Each structure stands twice: as structure tokens, then as C-alpha cells.
A and B are shown apart, each in its own frame.
Chain A
Amino acid sequence: MENTAPPSPDSVLLAFDRMARAKARRPELSRYAYPVAIALLAALLAGLAHLIVNEDRQLKREALNRDVDTLVQSISLRLETMSEAATKFSLNIGSADYNERRFTSAARELMLQKQELMHIAFIDARQRVRWSVASPGPLGDAARPADSEISGEPVVAAIEHAQRSHSAFFSPPYEDVSGPAGGDNGSPFADLVVPVFIDDRYSGAVLARISLPQLLRMTVNPELAQRYRVALVDDAGKVLASSTLSETPPDALVYEVPIPLLPDGLAIQASAFKQRSPLLGNALAWLVGGLSLAVMIMLIALARRDVRQARVEQVLRAETAFRRAMEDSLATGMEVIDRDAVIRHVNSAFCQMTGWSEGELVGRAPPFPYWPPEQYAEHREQLAATLAGNAPPSGFELKVLRKDGTLFDARMYVSPLLADDGEQLGWMSAMADITEPKRISEQLALAHERFTTVLESLDAAVSVVAGADADELLFANRRYRDLYGANAGGHRRLQAGLGASTAGEVFDGETQRWVEVRTRAVRWVDGRDVRLQIATDITERKATEDIVRQQQEKVQLTSRLMTMGEMASSLAHELNQPLTAISNYSLGSVSRIKSGGATANDVLPALEKAAGQAQRAGNIIRRIREFVKRSEPRRRATPAARVVEDSISFAEIEASKRGIAIRTHLPPAMPPLDIDPILIEQLLLNLLKNAVEAMEGAAERTIDLVVRRVDDMAEFSVIDRGSGIPESQRQNLFQPFYSTKSEGMGMGLNICRSIVEFHHGRLSVEENPDGGSIFRFTLPLAREQAVNENPSA
């Protein structure tokens, strides 16, 4: 009947089912209905059964009664017949022509007819048997032979009774076990006594001995005997004869009818055999019983189904209520149209959003009331697309007309509505008011556009890269893409140029540009840690910086020169003053003397003044000398490493900016040099700067500064890999004011040579076999060292 238990609604769903909630509080009456019904039915059935049984019993009883009555009647009749026949005998006996023979044959005939008669006898007044006729039947009784005296109390009493009453009389039953041996002799007997009155004088009686069992046998037909246990009983209930050997069970239906004619107390007692139950034997009972059973089973089944149904209903209701609640609480408007585009259902949110009520929408065919008239064409198009199954997954954007005439922007997502079997019933649309989201997204788009515009028009290359290998380019603005393409290669290169720091200036070998790179770690939109890099091309700036620096140097140099120049010119001016004065005084004196009339006294003052001016000039010269002396180079013992380090630290600033490395090769045990360190640093710096400038655009970007000891001098070599100096120019190099540089002033090498020669060394230049030039100069070692130590190769 049931294979799976029905689902029980969980408490969540139940919360949505008002009825269930209410029901939970009420007692379940219907629960009792079925058992009650079934109980009633059972009771009914029991009652019916009872009734049937009773009815049957009643019928049986009635049948019994009837049958017994009938039996008794037939017995009575027989007895009456016997009594009449006996009476006839008794009457006949009185007559003269009646003799024993006639008596015997008539008796025999009677006994043939009535086989319960054992013996008929005529006894005289003294109870002596005169005539004796035994039954010709098997149970013929020879108990009363002729001339035997009748004895036995009951018989004698009956004879006397009959005598007294002048009528036939039956004796009470008595036993007589005498007779032919072997079983049943027909006892107990009862005698029919008919007195004989001859001439009103008692002259004897006719005695007919009746075998009571025989009597029963005779009267109880087999049919009756089959149905009933028929017994002849006396007033004490003792069974005198019975149709059956079995005993009457105590609970059997018993009917007792006294037999008339026989003495009181003799009755026929019949009891029905236990027959088949009236119920079981009754086809109708079977039918009814079967039907009832069927009904009960059905009722039970119904009951169970009902319970199940109720459960299912509850679940269903709860679910429906739940879904309804969900649907109604949705902020999204839902609409269902069937295959002909007629609106079939709208949820409350849809009605709220559009202002139209459910009644105004359901059942409407297009054009729908919420279509703005000016956009019918668009809406029709969208509807056509939907019906054709081509609704885009991202939905339609449309303007919706509210009932009050206002418009709003909405987005509708359409999906086919399928039944369980897959048949398409129509379409389900979800409509969301996107006025606010649209406004926000427009603002966002604008903001994004602004942002993008800014980023894209930035001069700097902005890139975001992720991954341990920095190979995933997450974002790049236009400048980056233009410069480095849409991959992370450029980012990586610049990052490599920074090394470990997060900001700095990097020379990008591939694009041959100087770039200022700034990076920082950033958390990306998806939560990853990525690196943001901003690279600004500073080549021009650097070039400008370079120029500025060069200008500054030049200015410094120039200002140094200018200072010198100024000094010189001021010196010149200073000297010129006394000189002019001397000249004037002298010439004036000459003129006066030439023109005559000038005495010695006239010109004396002038000459004296002139002399004074010469002194003045001398003082100026002296000052110059002193100044020169102060600036004279001072030589002292200086470790080579120091001058190398100092000059390199200055030169490296320039070199690294151009991506050029300076390698130093300094023997570990280099003895100190006898030099003016300031001048030598200037010298080295000058040569190094020349080398760096010569290597503009060179492939090998290394300058070697090699120091080695040669005898008692230290030999310095500045080796560059530039384009070298042509033979023709090499001779002119050391000319003052000679420069191959367009902006050079040509002071450098000349002064360098002077410095070297001041130190008693030599400065020379030669071609580098690997390309470029080698500037070599020698400097003296400090005296003590030169003498003591062995020169090392």
C-alpha cells in the first residue's frame, strides 16, 4: 500500500503555512474518525453476525420445535392408532365370533404395521395371559407367553388404572431385560392397556407392549435423526430411547414435548446436532462478511491514505505558501506570458513596480499597458525575439510606463517556462528597476572614462603585473602599450634595473631611454598582491640635466677662468693705473721741456709722482707673486688607492648615468706616490670624464683604470672602448684650446699634461687594440719607497 513514507514538512516550511500552524494547535479530530468508523463497522458486523446467529438460532429452535411437535404428533397418531386398534380388539374380544386366531392375525397385522409393537396379549381379569402374539418382526417379544402372569409393577398399575378408567391407558416405561439374549431387545417398554369389558364386566385387557426405542425408530425418520438427537425421556430426564448414541451436550438447543397419551413425564426430547455455523454456511453471510471486510480494509486503506494525503497536503500547502511568500517578497517583478504572449501571471512586486494591478495585467495581450506608446516598436521587437526564442541571456533594457504615467528604466530577463515533461508553456520574465543601478553605472562609466582618459593620456607608462615571475600583465595604459607592447617584458626589464629598491632611474637598453621607475606593491581587485609600476621617460630631462650640469661645470670652470680673467683684468686694471700715471707725468714733462720754459722745479713734482706710481705698480706685482706662491702645488706621500677612489667616486656619477661601469685594477701592495693629491684627482677625473664621453654609443660599456708599478714610477692607464682618436687629431690633443668636443673648451688635456709634467711624469695617448683609446701617465713614487722596495712587475 505504501512504499515510501510521505515527506514531512520541515519546520521552516511549516512556518509559512498558516493553516498548518493553526492545525498544530487544534486537536486532530479526523484522526479518530477512522478508528471510530472502523470500530463502528466492526461493531455493526458483530451485531449483524450476532443477529444472524440469533436469527438462525431462532429459526433452528422453531424448526426444532416444529419438527418435534410434528414428531410427537406422529407418535401420538401412532399411539392413537394403536390405541384404537387395541380398543377394537378389546371390543372384538367380547363378541362371540372373535377368537384367538382372528385376534392373532389382526394383531400380527397391526404389529407388522407398527413394528414398535413387540407383543400383543390378551389377559384375563386375573392378569393371566390368554392369548399372546409376538411380533413377527425381528424383535419379536416372547416375553409373555401364554398363561404367564403379568407382573411388573408399572404394568400392573397401568392395568388397574385402565380397569378403573374404562379406557386405554399407557403404562409408564419399564425395563425388561429378559428375553432373547444378545443386545437390544427393545427395552424400555411401555404397555398399552385397553381394558376389555364384556357386558360391562371387566374381563381382562389387551396388552400391547411397545418398544420405546422401536417406537422412536419408527417415527423418527432418518432425516430427522440426522438433524436431531431425538430421545424419549421420562420426567426425571432419563433417556429411555434415543435416535442416537451420542449424548446431548449441555449447551445444545433442546426442546422437550411431552407425548400425549403416554403417561405424564414421558416426553420427546430433541436436541439439534452441532451443525455448521450459520454464518459459515451462509453464502449471504459470506458475501456480507466479505464485503464488510473489504469495506473495512478499504476504510483502513482510506484512513492511511488520508493521513498520508493530509501530510502531503500539508507539505504542499506549506511549500506553496512558502513559494508564494518568496514570490511576493521578491523585489523583482515576475511576469509569465503564455505562448501567445498573453500575460498569465504577475507577482506583487511587478504590480508594485508598474502600478498596474493584477487584474489589469493578467489576460492582457500585447501591447501591454506598461509599454510606453512611443516605444511600441522596440517593445514589439523584443517580444518577437522572445517568442522566437532569441531572448538574450543578459536581458532586455526597456522603459516601462507606470499607471500614473511616469517612466522608469528596467531590465527584463526572459527564460522559457517549461513543464515537468519539458513542454514549453510560455516565458517567464524577471523585471528589475534599474533606474538607480543605471544611474550609478552611468556615473561609474563616466568616472571610469575620466579615469581612463587620464590614465591613457598620461605621459608615464603605468603597468600592473602579477605573478612570482612577473609575467602576467594585468593592466597597461596606452603609453606602456605603445612603448613595450601588451606584455610584461618592459615592466620586468625596468624592475630588474631597479634591483631591490622601489624607485630610481633606470637606463633601458632596449629603448635606449632613461626612465624614472617607481613601483609599489598593491592589492589587486581579486585580492592578489601585484606590483604597480610607473615609468616616466626622463631622457630629455637627463639630457637637460646633463647639459645643465655641463653648463654648470663650464660656468664653474668659466667662473674659475672668469675669476682668473677677472683677476687678471683687475690686475691689469690695477697695473694700468700707475702705468698710465707714469706715462702721463712723463709725457707731460717731456712736452713742457720741449716747449721750453719748463724748469727743473716745474717737472720735479711730476717725476717724483711718477716714481711713486712705479712703486705702486711694484706692489701689485708682489701681490700677484704671493698669490701664485700660495696656489703652488704641494706634493706629499699619498696612497694610490686614495686618489683612485676619490676620482672614481666623482666619475662614477656620470658613468652610471650612461650605463658605463668603471673597473679598477690596483695592485694590493702599491706603495704611496709623491704627488699633490688634489691635482692628480683633477687629472684622473678629467681623463675619466673624457673616457666616459668618448664611449657614447659604444657597445662595450666598461672603462678600465689600471695602475701598476713600473720601476720607481706608478703607471696609470685609462682605457676606454669608445670610437678612438684618429691619428691626425692625436697630435693636436694637447694643444691648449683644442677640443674635438663641440662644447669642449680644450683646456683639459693641456692642463693634464702640465700637471703630469709638474710631477716629472709623462702623459701620452695611444690606440686601444680592442677599440678606443688608452691614456697613460706616470707619477713618481714617494722617495723612501722607491729606494727600499724592489720594483714589482
Chain B
Amino acid sequence: MTDNTETLGVVYVVDDDDAVRDSLQWLLEASRYRVFGFESAEKFLAGYDPAAIAVAILDVRMPGMSGLELQEELIARKASFPIIFITGHGDVPMAVSTMKKGAVDFIEKPFDEVALKALVDRLLVQAREQAASNERQRLSEALLAKLTPREQQVLERIAAGRLNKQIADDLGISIKTVEAHRANIMDKVNANTVADLMRIVLSGGGLKQP
């Protein structure tokens, strides 16, 4: 189910109330979103597409796994969809804890159509960006993984803005060796300039500490 180019994005709706779920799907599809409904968190986990650029609308209170627990699970799986929680119960503390855990927002029933659409769009953008960022990170990590530990050490110091001489002193090697490492690094990660290198480093989410 990766066909999403015609639609604005994928929206997952998870709510145990059939009428609410069905009607919400009806509402969203009128705005040309691709909506998939699941009547429980478990069913959703079984049927969602991790690679999709999607927003999940979750009912907070459901029998079985609740919306919050589902969020935890998704985080654990590193499936970072932005989540819209449907609340009707004034759950302020919940709001704080959910917000801390990632991209999230709330909406109350009955839905204000305009507000809902805006929210979904916004979050889809976020999702897209997030996906892109994830991809970049993945690539960077793959590249950086090619480096030897020594090269990682050198790269780390380059990223910290140290001059070759300083790096040589730090590591107890000659400047020449440092320069050699530099060349290798640039080569491996496929960077032409230091700026490229930096970008890769940054999007890699930082180096793993040796």
C-alpha cells in the first residue's frame, strides 16, 4: 500500500466506535485523504505500513490497548507517525505526557472539519519531513559505519572544528596521518567538501562514541 501520490496522505483512524470511525473516514475521504480504519490498536499494529507517510488519529480510550499505549508501542517500533488523539475527557496530564513523547496533537469530538483538515495537513507535512530526515539519517549512518574507529575519532574532531595539528596532538599521531585519514573519510562517505561531510555527520544523528 504505498500508492499515495494522488492523495494528500495516508490517515489511519483507530476507534472502537463503528459510527465514529466510519463517519470520520467518510469525512476525510471527502478531502481526498487515503483513510484506513481499524477498530482496535491491535488490528492497526497488524495492518499498518511502517514506510507510509501517514498520520494516525487515535481514540484515547479504547478497550484493550489504549491510544496512549499504542503511541508507546509505535515509538518502540520506531514507527514515528504523528498522532492525533481524540479526546472527550479533559485529559490534561495525558496531554503533557503524550506531547513529550513525540509529534502529537488533540482534537475533540465533534470535529470541526476545517480544524481537522488543517491539523492533518500539517502533520502530514511533518510526517513527510520526518520520513525524509529518517532516510538521510539512515544513509549517513550507513556511510559512517564504513569508517574505522580511528577514522571515526578523526571525524569527530573535524566536526568539533579542530585543526589537523590539534587532532594529531590529541590522538598522538602525525599530521600526515591525520591528513591521510581525512582523505579516506571523505572518500568513504562520498563527500566532496567539508560542508558535505558535516551534513552527513549531522544527519547521522551524531557519531557513535568509540
Question: Complex: how many Å from CA A496 to CA B71?
Answer: 68
Contact A579 B113 (CB under 8 A): no
Contact A573 B23 (CB under 8 A): no
Query: Is A226 on the interface with B (CB-CB < 8 A)?
Result: no
Query: Is B93 on the interface with A (CB-CB < 8 A)?
Result: no
* Smallest beta-carbon distance B206→chain A, Å: 44
Question: Complex: how many Å from CA A613 to CA B22?
Answer: 12
Question: Complex: how many Å from CA A582 to CA B20?
Answer: 9
Contact A577 B27 (CB under 8 A): no
Contact B20 A581 (CB under 8 A): yes
Query: Is B30 on the interface with A (CB-CB < 8 A)?
Result: yes
Contact A580 B113 (CB under 8 A): no
Contact A577 B89 (CB under 8 A): no
Interface members, chain B 4-26 (any A CB < 8 Å):
17, 19-20, 22-24, 26
* Smallest beta-carbon distance B7→chain A, Å: 14
Question: Complex: how many Å from CA A610 to CA B110?
Answer: 13
Given A577-B17, A591-B113: A584 and B24 interface contact (C-beta under 8 Å)? yes
Contact B88 A588 (CB under 8 A): no
Across-interface contacts of B109 in A (CB, < 8 A): 576-577, 579-580
Query: Is A609 on the interface with B (CB-CB < 8 A)?
Result: yes
Across-interface contacts of A609 in B (CB, < 8 A): 19, 22-23
Contact B88 A584 (CB under 8 A): no
Question: Complex: how many Å from CA A585 to CA B24?
Answer: 7
Across-interface contacts of B30 in A (CB, < 8 A): 587-589, 591-592, 595
Question: Complex: how many Å from CA A235 to CA B87?
Answer: 197
Question: Complex: how many Å from CA A595 to CA B117?
Answer: 15
* Smallest beta-carbon distance A698→chain B, Å: 43
Max count, chain A CB within 10 A of own CB: residue among B26, B28, B89: B26
Across-interface contacts of A582 in B (CB, < 8 A): 23, 110
Query: Is B31 on the interface with A (CB-CB < 8 A)?
Result: yes
Across-interface contacts of A585 in B (CB, < 8 A): 23, 26-27
Query: Is A656 on the interface with B (CB-CB < 8 A)?
Result: no
Residues of A in contact (CB 8 Å), total 25
Contact B111 A580 (CB under 8 A): yes
Contact B20 A584 (CB under 8 A): yes
* Smallest beta-carbon distance A493→chain B, Å: 53
Contact A584 B111 (CB under 8 A): yes
Question: Complex: how many Å from CA A583 to CA B26?
Answer: 11
**1/0 per position for A596-625, CB-CB distance to B under 8 A?**
000000000010011011001000000000
Contact A584 B110 (CB under 8 A): yes
Query: Is A747 on the interface with B (CB-CB < 8 A)?
Result: no
Question: Complex: how many Å from CA A303 to CA B110?
Answer: 147
Max count, chain B CB within 10 A of own CB: residue among A569, A585, A588, A613: A588
Query: Is A578 on the interface with B (CB-CB < 8 A)?
Result: yes
Question: Complex: how many Å from CA A38 to CA B175?
Answer: 160
* Smallest beta-carbon distance A11→chain B, Å: 106
* Smallest beta-carbon distance B60→chain A, Å: 11
Question: Complex: how many Å from CA A576 to CA B20?
Answer: 10
Contact B89 A580 (CB under 8 A): no
Contact A577 B19 (CB under 8 A): yes
Query: Is A572 on the interface with B (CB-CB < 8 A)?
Result: yes
* Smallest beta-carbon distance A744→chain B, Å: 25
Interface members, chain A 636-679 (any B CB < 8 Å):
none
* Smallest beta-carbon distance A609→chain B, Å: 7
Query: Is B29 on the interface with A (CB-CB < 8 A)?
Result: yes
* Smallest beta-carbon distance B174→chain A, Å: 70
Interface members, chain A 708-729 (any B CB < 8 Å):
none
Among A588, A595, A613, the residue within 8 A (CB) of B27 is: A588
Max count, chain A CB within 10 A of own CB: residue among B22, B27, B28: B27
Residue of A nearest to B61 (CB): A573
Contact B19 A616 (CB under 8 A): yes
Question: Complex: how many Å from CA A699 to CA B89?
Answer: 50
Contact A583 B111 (CB under 8 A): yes
Question: Complex: how many Å from CA A44 to CA B31?
Answer: 178
* Smallest beta-carbon distance A596→chain B, Å: 12
Given A579-B110, A580-B109: A588 and B23 interface contact (C-beta under 8 Å)? yes
Question: Complex: how many Å from CA A612 to CA B20?
Answer: 12
Given A577-B109, A584-B110, A595-B30: A569 and B24 interface contact (C-beta under 8 Å)? no
Interface members, chain B 30-46 (any A CB < 8 Å):
30-31
Across-interface contacts of B88 in A (CB, < 8 A): 572-573, 576
Across-interface contacts of B20 in A (CB, < 8 A): 577, 580-581, 584
Question: Complex: how many Å from CA A577 to CA B31?
Answer: 22
Across-interface contacts of B22 in A (CB, < 8 A): 581, 609
Across-interface contacts of A595 in B (CB, < 8 A): 30
Across-interface contacts of B110 in A (CB, < 8 A): 576, 579-580, 582-584
Question: Complex: how many Å from CA A579 to CA B113?
Answer: 14
Contact A591 B19 (CB under 8 A): no
Contact B23 A581 (CB under 8 A): yes
Given A576-B109, A580-B111, A584-B26: A591 and B31 interface contact (C-beta under 8 Å)? yes
* Smallest beta-carbon distance B13→chain A, Å: 11
Across-interface contacts of B17 in A (CB, < 8 A): 577, 581
Question: Complex: how many Å from CA A47 to CA B194?
Answer: 178
Question: Complex: how many Å from CA A609 to CA B19?
Answer: 8
Contact B19 A587 (CB under 8 A): no
Given A580-B111, A616-B19: A591 and B27 interface contact (C-beta under 8 Å)? yes
Contact B29 A588 (CB under 8 A): yes
Question: Complex: how many Å from CA A569 to CA B87?
Answer: 12
* Smallest beta-carbon distance B29→chain A, Å: 7
Question: Complex: how many Å from CA A573 to CA B60?
Answer: 12
Across-interface contacts of B23 in A (CB, < 8 A): 580-585, 588, 606, 609-610, 613
Max count, chain A CB within 10 A of own CB: residue among B20, B88, B89: B20
Question: Complex: how many Å from CA A579 to CA B88?
Answer: 12
Contact B19 A578 (CB under 8 A): yes
Question: Complex: how many Å from CA A616 to CA B31?
Answer: 27
Residue of B nearest to A612 (CB): B19
Question: Complex: how many Å from CA A338 to CA B77?
Answer: 110
Across-interface contacts of B29 in A (CB, < 8 A): 588
Contact B89 A587 (CB under 8 A): no
Residue of A nearest to B108 (CB): A576
**1/0 per position for B97-134, CB-CB distance to A under 8 A?**
00000000000011101000000000000000000000
Question: Complex: how many Å from CA A595 to CA B28?
Answer: 13
Contact B27 A584 (CB under 8 A): yes
Across-interface contacts of B113 in A (CB, < 8 A): 587, 591
* Smallest beta-carbon distance B170→chain A, Å: 62
Contact A573 B24 (CB under 8 A): no
* Smallest beta-carbon distance B119→chain A, Å: 15
Across-interface contacts of B26 in A (CB, < 8 A): 584-585, 588-589, 606
Given A585-B26, A588-B29, A591-B27: A613 and B111 interface contact (C-beta under 8 Å)? no
Across-interface contacts of A577 in B (CB, < 8 A): 17, 19-20, 109
Across-interface contacts of A589 in B (CB, < 8 A): 26, 30
Question: Complex: how many Å from CA A595 to CA B23?
Answer: 18
Contact B89 A569 (CB under 8 A): yes
Residue of A nearest to B26 (CB): A588
Question: Complex: how many Å from CA A595 to CA B89?
Answer: 34
Question: Complex: how many Å from CA A580 to CA B112?
Answer: 10
Question: Complex: how many Å from CA A595 to CA B88?
Answer: 30
Residue of B nearest to A576 (CB): B109
* Smallest beta-carbon distance A606→chain B, Å: 6
Across-interface contacts of A576 in B (CB, < 8 A): 88, 109-110
Question: Complex: how many Å from CA A572 to CA B110?
Answer: 11
Residue of B nearest to A578 (CB): B19
Can you report 23 A-B residue pairs in the complex whose CB atoms are below 8 A from each other? Answer: A572-B88, A573-B89, A576-B109, A577-B109, A581-B17, A581-B20, A581-B22, A581-B23, A582-B23, A584-B20, A584-B26, A585-B23, A585-B26, A587-B30, A587-B113, A588-B26, A588-B30, A591-B27, A591-B113, A606-B23, A609-B22, A609-B23, A613-B19
Extra contacts besides A591-B31, A606-B23 (13): CB < 8 Å:
A576-B110, A577-B19, A577-B109, A580-B110, A581-B22, A583-B110, A584-B27, A584-B111, A587-B27, A591-B113, A609-B23, A613-B23, A616-B19
6 A-B pairs with the lowest CB-CB distances in the bound complex, closest first: A584-B23, A591-B30, A581-B19, A580-B109, A583-B110, A588-B27
